[in-house]
Structure 1
């Protein structure tokens, strides 16, 4: 039987401006994006705790390898998430990735951005244990100020 996906929940994350650690279009760019907060809806309900970070390395060809760490406060307890993935923009926008202003995302059609990740979860309450018993896939959408993460359980 082939796997299927079941929508579980959405995390709408508010982010701050990136902190650029290093940037060289010939070698790549390392940036840290602070996670300020957000909302969670679906099978989980709650909010994103401030203090998380999305660590990104943007390769010279524009492929972004990301590793985000953040926590949720839900009605059933706290959830810690490690979300690792990739984001790829149309080549026409690659040069914009090496600047400081992420506002250019408003000009990139969301459907033209490949943005997928594989989250893993740590939980502190037995009611949330279901998050640790399945594989999840994250389908993400990036806007100038937010990141919407749709979490799907692989059945």
Structure 2
């Protein structure tokens, strides 16, 4: 099931999708939450999660859980929206394409405290690998990984 959200409050975004969440009703798992970069940090991801969680509970009588495969920003959102989130199994590279970040501020694209992320996920690889996971775009993440492989 997919739920999308549009903003009527900001005319420049009103014609565009602000965010979407996708979940599997059979597996009770939210597999993807995406918020347009310029609309991040405005509560849209949280609102999408709450709406999907409530709709899922009404439809199935079961609790919706976030996927165990997440981006770093997805992991930070999961920690915020879930009281007892399932432990992350795999942190994946960011999926935001460079073409979608025009107008977005840095805090809408990357974690606020990179040093805290490096400490928290040091068991997931080198600092270059963690920086790739925290990159603003998919292209930037791949750039970090290419540099890592050359060194």
**Where on the TM-score scale, by shorter chain, does this alignment land: which range?**
under 0.3
Q: TM-score, normalised by structure 2?
A: 0.28
Q: Which has the higher helix share?
A: 2
Structure ranking higher on relative contact order (CA contacts 8 Å, 6+ apart): 1
Q: TM-score, normalised by structure 1?
A: 0.28
